């Protein structure tokens, strides 16, 4: 291995250069070199090609043997159409993990194809967004794929107990997700509990038909369970004793279980030594008394979430003292007292993560004291703690130098000088959320020193301009996500600087930055990895800018050009031609017409479209486009079209797996950003 050192990036670049050539001529020594490598070694190299999915494609296009190698190497498939399953499964014989969540229609026939092609070799199957399959299809799958270990059936809202009984036939299943299977009852879960004895992970989130009996039986029968998600189930204290007897239980989510009250923690007291993660968010009926006594039993607890629960008082916080292993604590949305914060400071020894998002009652006093005790803090979320000022920020920055993530959206009393401190002291920051703050160019200049920054959110920061952003662009080369939503001080220059300095940008949001022009988009097109672009409400952007993005950013998958009224069909045609990975587009309020929309139909990945208030769109054009886009799963349309177009058309599209969302919004004039913020503040106060 040491003798052959091929950098993956170099490798992929080489391959890419070959790509335009129709039939890549074999390099003189290429095949010979690769013949020396055993298949295992090539597979190891291929393992490094995870970063960019196009790299693998490039590799497989080199020659026949590479194609075969890559086909054998592929372990997981995520097809867009179930119709192509036979071909895909034949081409990738080693793919044991199958994700069908992107297929608009997964019928029993599709499942039969999978069963026939993979049989016992199938390990993982994701049907989390699939529809149209039935219990019979699952039963057929179960009879042939006995090796299945992981199954995701989330969102199968029509799935009934008979389907659950079919799931129970997968005897070796270890992970099962049934989130939002609302029609499954205790009986179905009972079948699963009896059938799938090896379950290690089970998610029953939002299975509203499942109660104490079903959950109790799962706890009795499936002794191997490590992770159990019971969020929003109508369960009560009754099923908890048996859950607590699960020997290996590590993660328990009881979010929004209103039936559980203060009795529960008493039960927890003598249970579950293995528990590491406990989430009791939104359990309305657990008061601070109950929360205090929870912590008696679970000594190994590492992550505790008590969000949207009882007030964090001194008593509750003091009870955390017993949790010597606690690493992260989430108290989002709770009433927090200063004494409570101080008690947390005194109790928990080794917190690395703390979330106080939307906690009312967080004061400078409490927070400052807390951080003096928790100097190892890495992640801190103080979103919407509106009482804190520069005092807190000074303490946080000076004491927690190791901070990697700081979220402080809407800390409106923090003055702009405080943000300079962040840049001066917290050099390890990777994620910084300053949305809706007073930060200005000076602050950004300082923050630019955080060279590891990968996520930066500066939405609704009205004090920043291109100058500040340029500093970021110059030094934060690792930036992946940049949010400048409604930061109206930004024009073209700042964006250009960022685009130049941050080549790995994947997500950019410049919505409602009115002064952004085509020039900015052209510079952004240098970011080859761009996947998500939101440029809502930028009236200066034309089709020209969009074309630049389309041509250069081949990985673009989400595009929002709502209210870019100067973008028309001319922008759509290059998009249709080049952006073959586009999955989701919002075209509302643009000048696109029938022609543009129809051209988009050639993007085979396209799944979701929002088409509101397109002046140039005729009903027949829309119908043609909808029919031509075979993979659509979700379309948002104006309600007026519902009447104009024939009902059978919609029925046909729905049978293909497309959902329609009808909107009846009136056209609204766009507001000036500053005015918009004032309006927002009015609403808040």
Query: Residues near 84 by Cβ (< 8 Å), separated by ≥ 6?
Result: none
Is the CB of 327 or the CB of 594 nearer to other proteins? Answer: 594
Q: How far is the CB of 234 from other proteins (least distance, A)?
A: 14
Is the CB of 343 or the CB of 575 nearer to other proteins? Answer: 575
C-alpha 127/C-alpha 101 separation (Å) is 5
Is the CB of 258 or the CB of 467 nearer to other proteins? Answer: 258
Q: How far is the CB of 643 from other proteins (least distance, A)?
A: 13
Per the CB < 8 A criterion, the answer to whether 386 and 362 are in contact is: no
Strands 608-611 vs 634-638: parallel, antiparallel or unpaired:
parallel
Q: How far is the CB of 656 from other proteins (least distance, A)?
A: 5
Is the CB of 81 or the CB of 425 nearer to other proteins? Answer: 81
Per the CB < 8 A criterion, the answer to whether 267 and 238 are in contact is: no
Structure tokens of 248? Answer: 């290996």
Structure tokens of 42? Answer: 């090539």
Is the CB of 146 or the CB of 656 nearer to other proteins? Answer: 656
Is the CB of 164 or the CB of 304 nearer to other proteins? Answer: 164
C-alpha 33/C-alpha 26 separation (Å) is 12
C-alpha 230/C-alpha 223 separation (Å) is 16
C-alpha 475/C-alpha 486 separation (Å) is 23
Q: How far is the CB of 512 from other proteins (least distance, A)?
A: 19
Per the CB < 8 A criterion, the answer to whether 184 and 164 are in contact is: yes
Q: How far is the CB of 230 from other proteins (least distance, A)?
A: 16
Q: How far is the CB of 53 from other proteins (least distance, A)?
A: 4
Is the CB of 300 or the CB of 595 nearer to other proteins? Answer: 595
Per the CB < 8 A criterion, the answer to whether 278 and 303 are in contact is: yes
Q: How far is the CB of 558 from other proteins (least distance, A)?
A: 5
Give the DSSP letter string of 115-174.
HHHHGGG--EEE-TT--S--HHHHHHHHHH-TT--EEE-TT-TT--HHHHHHHTT-TT--
Q: How far is the CB of 375 from other proteins (least distance, A)?
A: 33
Per the CB < 8 A criterion, the answer to whether 283 and 265 are in contact is: no
Secondary structure element (H or E) that encloses residue 550, with its range: helix 543-552
Structure tokens of 421? Answer: 């401190």
C-alpha 276/C-alpha 350 separation (Å) is 15
Residue 563 — φ and ψ, nearest 5°?
60, 20
Is the CB of 410 or the CB of 607 nearer to other proteins? Answer: 607
Is the CB of 31 or the CB of 646 nearer to other proteins? Answer: 646
Q: How far is the CB of 149 from other proteins (least distance, A)?
A: 18
C-alpha 524/C-alpha 503 separation (Å) is 9
Is the CB of 313 or the CB of 507 nearer to other proteins? Answer: 507
Q: How far is the CB of 336 from other proteins (least distance, A)?
A: 26
Q: How far is the CB of 461 from other proteins (least distance, A)?
A: 24
Is the CB of 194 or the CB of 315 nearer to other proteins? Answer: 194
Is the CB of 308 or the CB of 314 nearer to other proteins? Answer: 308
Is the CB of 163 or the CB of 484 nearer to other proteins? Answer: 163
C-alpha 434/C-alpha 457 separation (Å) is 6
Q: How far is the CB of 377 from other proteins (least distance, A)?
A: 27
Q: What SS3 class is residue 330?
A: strand
**496-531 burial, b for 16+ CB within 10 Å, e for fewer?**
bbbbebbeebbbbbbbbbbebbbbbbbbbbbbebbb
Structure tokens of 289? Answer: 């008394």
Query: What single DSSP character describes residue 37?
Result: S
Q: How far is the CB of 674 from other proteins (least distance, A)?
A: 29
Strands 251-253 vs 431-433: parallel, antiparallel or unpaired:
unpaired
């Amino acid at each position: 291995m040491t003798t052959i050192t091929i950098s993956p990036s170099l490798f992929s670049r080489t391959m890419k250069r070959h790509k335009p050539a129709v039939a890549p001529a074999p390099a003189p020594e290429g095949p010979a070199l690769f013949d020396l490598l055993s298949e295992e070694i090539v597979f190891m190299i291929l393992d490094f090609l995870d970063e960019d999915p196009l790299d693998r494609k490039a590799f497989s296009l080199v020659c026949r043997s590479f194609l075969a190698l890559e086909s054998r190497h592929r372990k997981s498939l995520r097809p867009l159409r179930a119709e192509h399953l036979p071909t895909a499964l034949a081409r990738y014989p080693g793919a044991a993990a199958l994700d069908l969540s992107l297929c608009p229609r997964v019928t029993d026939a599709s499942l039969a194809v999978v069963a026939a092609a993979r049989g016992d070799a199938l390990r993982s199957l994701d049907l989390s967004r699939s529809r149209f399959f039935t219990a019979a299809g699952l039963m057929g799958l179960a009879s042939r794929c006995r090796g299945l270990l992981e199954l995701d059936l989330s969102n199968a809202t029509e799935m009934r107990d008979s389907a659950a009984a079919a799931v129970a036939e997968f005897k070796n299943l270890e992970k099962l997700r049934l989130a939002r299977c609302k029609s499954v009852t205790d009986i179905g879960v009972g079948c699963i509990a009896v059938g799938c004895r090896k379950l290690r992970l089970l998610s029953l989130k939002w299975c509203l038909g499942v109660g104490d009996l079903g959950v109790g039986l799962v706890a009795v029968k499936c002794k191997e369970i490590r992770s159990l998600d019971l969020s929003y189930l109508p369960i009560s204290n009754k099923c908890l004793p048996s859950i607590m007897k699960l020997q290996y239980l590590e993660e328990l989510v009881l979010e929004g279980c209103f039936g559980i009250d203060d009795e529960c923690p008493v039960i927890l007291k003598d249970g579950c030594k293995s528990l590491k993660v406990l989430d009791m968010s939104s359990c309305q009926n657990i008061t601070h008394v109950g929360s205090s006594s929870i912590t008696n039993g679970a000594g190994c607890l590492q992550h505790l979430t008590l969000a949207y629960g009882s007030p964090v008082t001194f008593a509750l916080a003091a009870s955390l003292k017993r949790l010597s292993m606690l690493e992260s604590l989430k108290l989002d949305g709770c009433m927090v007292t200063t004494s409570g914060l101080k008690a947390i400071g005194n109790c928990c020894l080794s917190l690395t993560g703390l979330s106080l998002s939307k906690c009312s009652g967080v004061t400078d006093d409490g927070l400052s004291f807390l951080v003096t005790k928790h100097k190892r803090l890495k992640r801190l979320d103080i979103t919407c703690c509106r009482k804190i000022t520069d005092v807190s920020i000074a303490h946080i920055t000076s004491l927690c130098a190791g901070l990697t993530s700081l979220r402080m959206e809407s800390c409106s009393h923090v003055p702009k000088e405080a943000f300079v401190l962040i840049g001066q002291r917290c050099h390890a920051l990777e994620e910084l959320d300053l949305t809706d703050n007073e930060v200005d160019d000076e602050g950004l200049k300082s923050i630019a020193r955080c060279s590891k920054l990968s996520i930066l959110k500066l939405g609704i920061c009205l004090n920043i301009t291109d100058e500040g952003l340029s500093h970021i662009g110059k030094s934060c080369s690792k930036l992946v996500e940049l949010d400048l939503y409604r930061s109206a001080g930004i024009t073209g220059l700042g964006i250009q600087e960022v685009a130049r300095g941050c080549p790995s940008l994947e997500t950019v949001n410049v919505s409602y930055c009115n002064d952004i022009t085509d020039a900015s988009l052209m510079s952004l097109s240098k970011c080859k990895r761009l996947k998500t672009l939101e440029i809502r409400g930028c009236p200066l952007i034309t089709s020209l800018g969009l074309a630049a993005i389309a041509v250069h950013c081949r990985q673009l998958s989400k595009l929002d050009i709502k209210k870019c009224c100067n973008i028309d069909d001319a922008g759509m045609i290059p998009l249709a031609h080049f952006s073959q990975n586009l999955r989701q587009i919002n075209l509302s309020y643009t000048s696109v017409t029938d022609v543009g929309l129809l051209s988009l139909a050639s993007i085979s990945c396209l799944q979701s479209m929002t088409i509101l208030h397109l002046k140039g769109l005729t009903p027949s054009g829309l119908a043609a486009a909808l029919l031509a886009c075979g993979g659509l799963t979700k379309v948002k349309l104006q309600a007026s079209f519902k009447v104009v177009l024939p009902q059978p058309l919609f029925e046909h599209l729905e049978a293909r797996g497309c959902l329609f969302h009808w909107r009846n919004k009136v056209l609204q004039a766009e507001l000036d950003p500053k005015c918009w913020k004032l309006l927002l503040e009015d609403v808040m106060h």
